A and B are shown apart, each in its own frame.
Chain A
């Protein structure tokens, strides 16, 4: 069980790690000063949450390892983040759509994890949820502002929603590990999360005057370590310092 909780912590931590990295790429490159600061603040919150998950993971493992070993020294197939989080910052509308879909899933996920039988996971969730409420408020307001904005912003927002939509179903696909964790009362029930995710996403897209995509096709594989081409580029940058200068620290 200890090993499975360890694996589950990696599953929980890899999403904020990779999404946080994507957002950090925007530091100094945001469309304006306020959104630049907001996106990097969100990135910082996500990194803080990752640190809590990974610090707990190394504690459970009991070997002489650190959170950095988990973040920086795994191979691509060992990362369990969903494909949505690794998608690139194509334009600001993509950044917002990706963030909104993830936040709309992240908030109900943490609500459930607050009741986890594992006390440390529950504590991390109770801490993180306060931050994620702000993230969701930020991303849903921007979906509406861009969707219900000018012809250009609406078109871009719609393109981003259409393109990223097929990546959202993976959030709710139950892997054997998640099924075991849910049974043990430690992990979340993904079908329950979906029941609050769908009305929220529908409501915001409608308010944004955006069309809800009807595609049935969905991409998946991230949770099992099968990633898109994007992942290699992310890790090349994310891991560069630790690979080039092993064991370096600040």
Chain B
């Protein structure tokens, strides 16, 4: 299942995202329970289909179930996942209090994933997908996505 990626962040495995919550294996039958990052995340149907494909290729009869509780949080991103986000050019989520300050435009907390400068500015609280905000680096002038903290 590590080979299944988030279609909107193609470097990030669903295992590193923390959307896979439970797996029950019964002989050749597998039940996978996944949880959405955001309610309206259009990638969930795709992720479900890709899990099914990957496991059925490996010879398992697979059912994927969507669960809502407990609700997903950015705390479930693994360390490996955070590093991959940064390498891909998306700033990883900060802690909740720092995140709030950063999204209110009150503090220089979000580091540019391209040049490492903390001289960055929020352009929009909402970015290219539901889980991201849009920032711009004031030093290297590159725009970049910031993965919002969700708790």
A residues at B contact (CB < 8 Å): 33-35, 37-38, 41-42, 44-49, 51-52, 119-120, 122-124, 126-128, 130-131, 134, 137-138
Contact = CB atoms under 8 A, between A and B. Distances in A.
B115 interface: no
B42 A123 contact: no
Contact of A134 (B67, B68, B125): B125
A122 B39 contact: no
A141 to B, nearest CB: 8
Contacts of A124: 68
Interface residues of A, dominant DSSP: helix
A48 B150 contact: no
B68 A41 contact: no
A127 B38 CA distance: 8
B126 A48 contact: no
Interface string B49-67: 0000000000000000001
A131 B38 contact: yes
Interface of B: 36, 38-42, 67-72, 103-104, 123-128, 130, 134, 148, 150-151
A137 B103 contact: yes
A131 B126 contact: no
A120 B128 CA distance: 30
21 contacts: A34-B126, A34-B134, A38-B124, A41-B126, A44-B38, A44-B130, A45-B39, A51-B39, A52-B68, A119-B69, A123-B68, A124-B68, A126-B71, A127-B36, A127-B69, A127-B71, A131-B39, A131-B130, A134-B125, A138-B125, A138-B126
Residue of B36, B38, B72, B127 with highest tally of chain A CB at under 10 A: B38
A128 B134 CA distance: 22
Given A52-B68, A124-B68, A34 B39 contact: no
Residue of A41, A42, A49, A119 with highest tally of chain B CB at under 10 A: A41
A124 B36 CA distance: 11
Given A122-B69, A126-B71, A49 B125 contact: no
B69 A123 contact: yes
Nearest to B148: A134
A167 to B, nearest CB: 25
B39 A42 contact: no
Given A123-B71, A126-B70, A34 B38 contact: no
A44 B42 contact: yes
Contacts of A137: 103-104, 125
A137 B133 CA distance: 13
Which 3 A-B pairs rank lowest in CB-CB distance, beginning with the nearest?
A: A48-B40, A48-B39, A123-B69
A153 to B, nearest CB: 19
A169 to B, nearest CB: 28
A38 to B, nearest CB: 4
Contacts of B130: 41, 44-45, 131
A48 B41 CA distance: 7
